[in-house]
């Protein structure tokens, strides 16, 4: 831990962003990006556990082949609501709105995001969208699936489609505003000397994510708006009875909702790049490739939506192109995985909790990505469409990828955010429990899906029971694993060991402020004279000593 | 002297604490608006896609429905909006050079032209309502149900269908028409609100050569809304003209 002491931290001030002001009003009207990040942290955690509750109900029902706990109508609502809450209210805002909000200004040496009021507004919009969605759930729920396919959603479903759609529509604007704020901040607010290629990869990933947010989200907004009108006023471009085309809905829906997967995974990849480089104390292998692969994923991500529609009336030639492009996304994704692995090579790895999540991410994301290739292959996809194989695949990306990155990042920056250390032993234990629980939940689903078990049914033929029992057992382990960090993070806010400004001894700009930082982040605007991940090279004596050792053995 | 020096360090009173200087603040504001306009393009893009799809599926119905629109009012409105873009640009220019009175005049003119556009649009909507062309049950008391003209009937209030067109397809056109122009009008209303805000602060002499980014940024928004109309006008009003002479 001695190699990086190249800078002196300023003498910590007793005043920081948490205790600078007191009272509920100072939180609810704050413009400080760090406080807004905490507001988001609280609310996404709430939605995560609410969505998790629905997941538990699903797994409990599927323990037995018959429908005993839930009947089909209720079951449809439960999986729909699980999907809506997790996708729109947890996964999409999770990393950008919490860690991104907190860290983007700190990592580039700015005092705040470019538009602090818009940042606060985005949280209120998120909250309003969330409340309307919760209203829809309490009033009677939605049963269309999170995909809202027409004409079921416009004509036949008797549930609260409009209210849920309105919630998602409103929530979309919070995502747009966050993306807009990040893009402008990264372009205009970098500290002197913080050139584009000195930016931490977390920033590159957030830049790419923001591009997807601003280009994709407006499309889902107009789509849901048109859907709501279609349902209420019987006007329509999606309903065949009115001369419309339901496949147009699917095109518009997936034009956003496929890139939305990259809104979830890209920030997570940014976190993992930070964790891998910093916990192996080595400059990332191929910085520019990792940076540009984020942009490449964002661009390719917009060109592959048709792979959700291989079994619709979409032309087979379009299908072939979408299939090819879906394979192409694997290239920038693989660039990242290979570069992370190459970074680990001959580095000094420390297995702290964040690193355990990062290593878990590499394995799980690889499985998720590779199974994505099965689904991108036209002929194989026909067999696998709407089976548990798809469910397992996207959970490996969304939970194994996005959630692992989120948890890893939360542990890594927790000392900076809260000024306290989390308990390391419990951290490692829960990371392990989550990893085991996750795999036990979703690996069997690949097999069940491959054997033909369809998704979205509350009952299934008895031969699939063994996989479902394994899966439900895994889900309870996973749920237990998730509770542990929730408890010790809260615990550590009061009882955790006080963290120093730079507890991991790292060169990044965010570690050059005190923990927790002052409201303005830095006493004076920092001047950046170093590259990203600039760890001191091994000293000359070390090198000589090493050669001497090699000579001796020779 | 020392006072002037401290002013240059702390900057303009409109400088927000997290920016280094006015230049950075202006740059951030302008870029923010450009990025926002990109999201707007994508938002309208969904409707343009639907338009393109159904126009190519039902060309005759789209032409018939388009012929029923009032091309004169549409053209006048196009002129009004282009003129308002000019006065908006003048407003930005006069702010930058610090001429307050012409600046207020230009902004007020822009607002008047914007409201004129909305007024003409309302007249058009009323005519469609009278002809029962509001699609579906958007207005419960007057569901879609235009009278269809038979051959030799030249009543302009009736729907004249070209061969191959059906009333159902015309309804689809009118839904796209109302969705797109309605969304455009909503943006105009928001723009009018922003202009009112600009005029009030211009009268209070808040803007000048050192601080003009709000005028510039709202100007960008105004031009964008105009440009959307420049696309809507030919796509909605003019597409059926050549069918008439078949």
pLDDT in tens, chain A (554 residues): 344 445 666 677 888 999 998 999 999 999 999 999 999 999 999 999 999 999 999 999 999 999 889 999 999 999 999 999 999 999 999 999 999 999 999 999 999 999 999 999 999 999 999 999 999 999 999 999 999 999 999 989 999 999 999 999 999 999 999 999 999 999 999 999 999 999 999 999 999 999 999 999 999 999 999 999 999 998 888 988 888 999 999 999 999 999 999 999 999 999 999 999 999 999 999 999 999 999 999 999 999 999 999 999 999 999 999 999 999 999 999 999 999 999 999 999 999 999 999 999 999 999 999 999 999 999 999 999 999 999 999 999 999 999 999 999 999 999 999 999 999 999 999 999 999 999 999 999 999 999 999 999 999 999 999 999 999 999 999 999 999 999 999 999 999 999 988 999 999 999 999 989 999 999 889 999 989 998 866 555 555 555 555 555 54
Asked if A242 and B24 come within 8 Å (Cβ–Cβ), the reply is: no
The Cα–Cα gap between A10 and A21 comes to: 22
Residue B6 is predicted with a pLDDT of: 40
Residue B155 has pLDDT above 90, yes or no: no
Q: B3: pLDDT confidence band, cut at 50, 70 and 90?
A: very low
Q: Is A423 left (phi over 0), alpha (psi -120 to 50) or beta?
A: beta
Number of A/B CB contacts below 8 angstroms equals: 111
Sign of CA dihedral A343, A346, A350, A355: positive
- The per-residue pLDDT for B156 is 86
Q: pLDDT value at position A93?
A: 96
- What is each CA distance from A354 to A284, A513, A526, B78, in whole angstroms? 17, 20, 27, 59
Q: Is B76 exposed, middle or buried (0-12, 13-18, 19+ CB in 10 A)?
A: middle
Q: According to the model, what pLDDT value does residue A428 have?
A: 97
Q: What is the pLDDT of residue A8?
A: 62
Which tokens is A248 given? 């147009």
CATH node for B45-245: 1.20.120.80
Is pLDDT of B115 > 60? Answer: yes
**B27 neighbourhood in chain A, CB within 8 Å:** 188
Question: Which residue, A251, A50, A209, is CA-closest to A131?
Answer: A50
A271 touches A405 (CB < 8 A): yes
What sign does the CA torsion over B150, B156, B162, B164 have? negative
Please report residues of B whose CB lies closer than 8 A to that of A520: 17-18
Please list the residues that pair with B148 across neighbouring strands.
B159
Q: Give the model's pLDDT for residue B239.
A: 84
Asked if residue A132 lies in contact with residue A163, where contact means CB atoms within 8 angstroms, the answer is yes
> B37, B42, B44, B142: which to substitute to probe chain A, counting the most A Cβ within 10 Å?
B42
**% of residues, chain B, pLDDT over 70:** 93
Q: What residues 502-521 of chain A have any CB closer than 8 A to a CB of chain B?
A: 520
Instruction: Please compute the mean of the pLDDT values over residues B210-223 and round it to a whole number.
Output: 95
Q: What are phi and psi of A498, to 5 degrees?
A: -65, 130
Confidence at residue A12, expressed as pLDDT on a 0 to 100 scale:
74
Q: What is the mean pLDDT of chain B?
A: 91
The DSSP code sequence of A342-397 is: HHHTT------HHHHHHHHHHHHHHHHHHHHHHHHSHHHHHHHTTBHHHHHHHHHH
Answer yes or no: do B42 and A115 touch at CB < 8 A. Answer: no
Nearest to B240 by CA among B51, B47, B55, B46: B55
Confidence bin at B174 (pLDDT 50/70/90): very high
Write down the domain spans for chain B. Answer: 45-245
- Smallest CA–CA distance, residue B101 to chain A, in Å, is 31
Query: How far does B105 lie from chain A, in Å, by closest CA?
Result: 30
Residue among A176, A174, A182, A196 nearest A101 (CA): A182
Does the structure show a pLDDT above 80 at B244? no
Cβ atoms of B176 and B54 closer than 8 Å: yes
The structural domains of chain A, ordered by start, are: 24-553 (1.20.210.10)
């Amino acid at each position: 831990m001695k190699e990086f002491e190249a800078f002196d931290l300023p003498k910590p001030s007793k005043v920081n962003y948490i205790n600078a002001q007191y009272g509920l009003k100072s939180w609810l009207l704050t413009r400080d990006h760090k406080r807004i990040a905490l507001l988001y942290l609280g609310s996404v955690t709430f939605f995560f556990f609410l969505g998790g509750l629905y997941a538990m109900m699903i797994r409990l029902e599927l323990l037995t082949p018959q429908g005993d706990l839930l009947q089909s109508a209720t079951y449809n609502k439960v999986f729909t609501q699980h999907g809506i809450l997790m996708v729109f209210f947890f996964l999409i805002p999770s990393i950008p709105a919490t860690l991104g909000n907190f860290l983007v200004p700190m990592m580039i040496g700015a005092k705040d995001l470019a538009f602090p009021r818009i940042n606060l507004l985005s949280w209120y919009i998120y909250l309003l969208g969330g409340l309307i969605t919760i209203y829809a759930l309490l009033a009677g729920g939605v049963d269309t699936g999170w995909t809202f396919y027409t004409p079921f959603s416009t004509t036949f479903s008797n549930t609260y489609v409009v209210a849920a759609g309105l919630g998602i529509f409103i929530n979309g604007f919070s995502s747009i505003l966050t993306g807009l704020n990040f893009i402008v901040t990264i372009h205009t607010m970098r500290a002197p000397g913080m050139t584009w290629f000195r930016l931490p990869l977390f920033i590159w990933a957030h830049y790419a994510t923001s591009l997807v947010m601003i280009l994709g989200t407006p499309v889902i907004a107009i789509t849901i708006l048109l859907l709501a009108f279609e349902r209420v006023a019987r006007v329509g471009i999606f309903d065949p009875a009115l001369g419309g085309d339901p496949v147009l809905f699917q095109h518009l829906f997936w034009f956003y909702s496929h890139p939305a997967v990259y809104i979830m995974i890209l920030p997570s990849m940014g976190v993992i790049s930070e964790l891998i480089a910093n916990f192996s104390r080595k400059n990332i292998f191929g910085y520019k490739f990792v940076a540009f692969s984020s942009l490449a994923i964002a661009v390719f991500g917009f060109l592959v939506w048709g792979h959700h529609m291989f079994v619709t009336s979409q032309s087979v030639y379009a299908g072939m192109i979408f299939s090819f492009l879906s394979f192409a996304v694997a290239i920038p994704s693989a660039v990242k995985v290979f570069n992370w692995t190459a970074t680990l090579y001959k580095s000094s790895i420390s297995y702290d909790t964040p690193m355990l999540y990062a290593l878990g991410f590499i394995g799980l994301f690889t499985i998720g990505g590779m199974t994505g290739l099965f689904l991108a292959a036209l002929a194989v996809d026909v067999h696998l469409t709407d089976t548990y194989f798809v469910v397992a695949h996207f959970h490996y990306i969304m939970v194994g990828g996005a959630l692992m990155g989120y948890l890893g990042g939360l542990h890594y920056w927790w000392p900076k955010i809260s000024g306290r250390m989390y308990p390391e032993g419990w951290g490692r234990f829960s990371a392990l429990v989550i990893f085991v629980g996750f795999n036990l939940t979703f690996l069997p689903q690949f097999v069940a899906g491959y054997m033909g078990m369809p998704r979205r049914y509350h009952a299934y033929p008895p031969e699939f029971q063994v996989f479902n029992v394994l899966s439900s057992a895994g889900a309870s382990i996973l749920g237990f694993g998730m509770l542990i960090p929730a408890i010790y993070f809260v615990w550590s806010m009061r009882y955790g060991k006080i963290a120093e400004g730079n507890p991991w001894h790292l060169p990044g700009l965010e570690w050059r402020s005190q923990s927790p930082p002052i409201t303005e982040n830095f006493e004076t605007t920092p001047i950046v004279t170093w590259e990203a991940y600039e760890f001191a090279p091994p000293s000359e004596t070390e090198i000589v000593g090493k050669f001497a050792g090699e000579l001796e053995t020779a | 002297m020392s006072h002037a020096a401290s002013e240059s360090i702390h900057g303009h009173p409109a400088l927000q604490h997290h920016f280094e200087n006015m230049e950075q603040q202006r740059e951030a504001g302008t870029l923010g608006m450009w990025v926002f306009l990109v999201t707007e393009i994508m938002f309208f893009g969904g409707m343009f896609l639907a338009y393109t799809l159904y126009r190519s599926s039902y060309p005759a119905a789209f032409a018939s429905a388009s012929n029923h629109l009032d091309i004169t009012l549409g053209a006048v409105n196009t002129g009004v909006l282009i003129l308002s873009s000019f006065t908006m640009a003048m407003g930005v220019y006069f702010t930058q050079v610090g001429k307050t009175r012409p600046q207020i005049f230009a902004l007020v003119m822009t607002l008047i032209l914007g409201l004129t556009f909305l007024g003409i649009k309302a007249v058009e909507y009323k005519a469609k309502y009278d002809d029962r062309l509001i699609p579906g049950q958007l207005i419960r008391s007057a569901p879609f149900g235009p009278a269809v003209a038979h051959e030799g009937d030249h009543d302009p209030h009736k729907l004249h269908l070209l061969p191959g067109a059906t009333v159902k397809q015309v309804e689809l056109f009118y839904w796209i028409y109302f969705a797109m122009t309605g969304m455009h009008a909503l943006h105009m209303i928001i723009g009018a609100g922003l202009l009112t805000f600009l005029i009030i602060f211009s009268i209070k002499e808040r803007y000048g050569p050192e601080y003009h980014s709000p005028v510039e940024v709202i100007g960008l928004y105004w031009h964008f809304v105009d440009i959307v109309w420049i696309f809507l006008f030919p796509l909605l009003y003019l597409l059926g003209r050549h069918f008439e002479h078949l």
